[in-house]
Amino acid sequence: MVARIPRSTPEALGITSSAIASFVQATEAQVGGLHSFMLVRHGQVAAEAWWSPYAAEHPHQLFSLSKSFTSTAVGLAVAEGRLTVEDPVLSFFEDKAPKRSSRNLTAMRVKHLLTMNTGHDMDTLDPMVTRRGGDWARAFLSLPVAHRPGTHFLYNTGATYMLSAIVQRLTGMTLLDYLTPRLFEPLGIVGATWESCPQGVNTGGFGLSVRTEDIACLGQLYLQKGFWQGQCLLPVEWVDAASQPHSDNSSQPTPDWQQGYGYQFWRCRHGAYRGDGAFGQFCIIMPEQDAVLVITSGVRDMQAVLNLVWRHLLPAMRSTPLAADGAAQAALGEVLSSRAIAPVDGLSYLPAARAFNGRYILEDNPYGLRSATLHFGRTGANVRLQSSEAVTNLTCSPASWQPGEAEWRKSASSSPRRETLPNPPVLASGAWVGEARYLIRLCYYETPFIVDLDCRLGAGLTLLGSVNTSFGPTEWPPIAGHKP
């Protein structure tokens, strides 16, 4: 891969190597779950790391960090004269509007979609996605708008989808296609993918996957007021507007979510602002420090990560270069180069393992798993998991990651991702960790998710599952299985 942002040393950029090492170690100890990070200062990378098997060349699912890219697309469309932020939302969807539009819906403007103050009482995404017929825009416009737009902050992923739909209506292109020549190609972003709704509109508020350095390039573009390598890609007026607080979110429960909301960017403490996504996808822009920090992860407590940024990294940024510190740089290099997601450690073989070989029919369960076929050999195991929508074939061995294969079936109940994107790649590890107990670990290394499947074997199979992070429970109820 060609580096698009020059590399330097922390001290040359006015940061102590020891502070960066302390941040990484403290985050691992207190929060866990980091997958990558990149710290850019004065336009150069001070430090970067990936937790193997996550790697620089792999994209990572951004979740709501996608919203900041959607905002950028709107800014580009405004610069091209295609719309203004004062345009009524209904003006783009006259064919989808309800027969009688409420006063609040009629008053809704593009700026209200951007600033998350549309007036809704609930995030509109779920009722949009579950509406029969798959017309998300029509569903959004049919929902009640309880408050006058502009007066009530509510984080609303459906509003970001509507921005995507507006851009597509105006340009005839999806967000991905529209951004490619205007943003992605100038920034060197290749291979980006974006989920789509059933009508072929990119989801906008989530679903974008790009690499860590791609995120850093977007952050650096905003830090540089829309300029990239001497070229103005995005008007400075848009950068200023997008990064300023337009909505009062002071009622939110955590401090870095109380500082105001811009155009699909959150304000932070310490004069910073950020795009972020579920489970710890961060693009933190720090104008006062001339710095950008990018993190991808699978964490449960995003505020805890930000607390450690302010505690360890912010005080370490000095206004002038520091004296070279070879010992500290070497120690940091050792810390960063040894980051890894641990595979399963244990025994590759048990003498009694062959008795457990075979296909197990699984009882009904919330995860749609129907059967598990296990074959244990001297060097590891071959595992086949069949669900209502996929067949996954795994090769498992201790203390290593092996590539797996997933084959998704497309169905009416499939998510938009499965209709528009390749299967998420997976790596597997497995070992005997007890008598008649085999543990499988699955790393979906382009997503935040790492799944453990604990197989308890005897007369039948009891499958216990857990995931590192989730919108719902992280522990599965036991699933019983028996041989036919």
In this prediction, residue 417 has a pLDDT band, given cuts at 50, 70 and 90, of very low
With vertex at residue 471, the alpha carbon angle to CA 389 and CA 416, rounded to the nearest 5 degrees, is 40
Same domain, 301 and 411: no
> Domain of 461?
353-482
Mean pLDDT of 168-179: 98
Structure tokens at 85: 């932020």
Asked whether residue 281 is assigned to any structural domain, the reply reads yes
* pLDDT of 99: 92
* pLDDT of 409: 53
Same domain, 328 and 415: no
- Residue with more model confidence, 409 or 150: 150
Mean pLDDT of 142-164: 98
Q: Tell whether the model's pLDDT for residue 412 goes beyond 90.
A: no
Same domain, 313 and 364: no
Number of Cβ atoms within 10 Å of the Cβ of 405: 13
Q: Per mean pLDDT, which of 1-15, 271-285, 356-370 is the most reliable? A: 271-285
What tens digit of pLDDT does each residue of 196-214 get? 999 999 999 999 999 999 9
* pLDDT of 418: 37
Identify the domain boundary among 302, 337, 372: 337
| Under 8 Å between Cβ of 295 and 280 | yes
Asked whether residue 303 is assigned to any structural domain, the reply reads yes
| Under 8 Å between Cβ of 431 and 347 | yes
Identify the domain boundary among 308, 337, 366: 337
Asked whether residue 293 is assigned to any structural domain, the reply reads yes
Helix (H) or strand (E) holding 408: strand 402-408
Domain count, the chain: 2
* pLDDT of 416: 46
Q: Tell whether the model's pLDDT for residue 292 goes beyond 50.
A: yes
The closest alpha carbon to 309, from 283, 338, 348, 344, belongs to 283
In this prediction, residue 388 has a pLDDT band, given cuts at 50, 70 and 90, of confident
* pLDDT mean across residues, the chain: 95
Same domain, 326 and 407: no
In this prediction, residue 34 has a pLDDT band, given cuts at 50, 70 and 90, of very high
Same domain, 328 and 386: no
Q: Tell whether the model's pLDDT for residue 101 goes beyond 60.
A: yes
Asked whether residue 412 is assigned to any structural domain, the reply reads yes
Same domain, 216 and 262: yes
Q: Tell whether the model's pLDDT for residue 413 goes beyond 90.
A: no
Asked whether residue 82 is assigned to any structural domain, the reply reads no
| Under 8 Å between Cβ of 170 and 74 | no
| Under 8 Å between Cβ of 414 and 389 | yes
Same domain, 322 and 406: no
In this prediction, residue 407 has a pLDDT band, given cuts at 50, 70 and 90, of confident
Lowest mean pLDDT among 107-116, 149-158, 267-276, 401-410: 401-410
Same domain, 429 and 476: yes
Q: Tell whether the model's pLDDT for residue 279 goes beyond 70.
A: yes
Same domain, 233 and 272: yes
In this prediction, residue 411 has a pLDDT band, given cuts at 50, 70 and 90, of very low
Same domain, 248 and 290: yes
Q: Tell whether the model's pLDDT for residue 347 goes beyond 90.
A: yes
Strand-pair partners of 432: 347, 438
In this prediction, residue 453 has a pLDDT band, given cuts at 50, 70 and 90, of very high
Identify the domain boundary among 313, 337, 361: 337
Structure tokens at 238: 């848009």
In this prediction, residue 421 has a pLDDT band, given cuts at 50, 70 and 90, of very low
Same domain, 478 and 359: yes
Q: What is the CATH number of the domain that holds 402?
A: 2.40.128.20
Asked whether residue 116 is assigned to any structural domain, the reply reads no
Mean pLDDT of 327-350: 97
Same domain, 426 and 471: yes
Q: Tell whether the model's pLDDT for residue 1 goes beyond 70.
A: no
Q: What is the CATH number of the domain that holds 295?
A: 3.40.710.10
Cis previous bond, 53, omega within 30 = yes
Give percent above pLDDT 70 in the chain: 96
Global pTM? 0.95
Asked whether residue 121 is assigned to any structural domain, the reply reads no
Mean pLDDT of 301-330: 97
Q: Tell whether the model's pLDDT for residue 410 goes beyond 70.
A: no
Asked whether residue 309 is assigned to any structural domain, the reply reads yes
Strand-pair partners of 408: 390
Mean pLDDT of 300-325: 97
What tens digit of pLDDT does each residue of 59-71 get? 999 999 999 999 9
Number of Cβ atoms within 10 Å of the Cβ of 307: 19
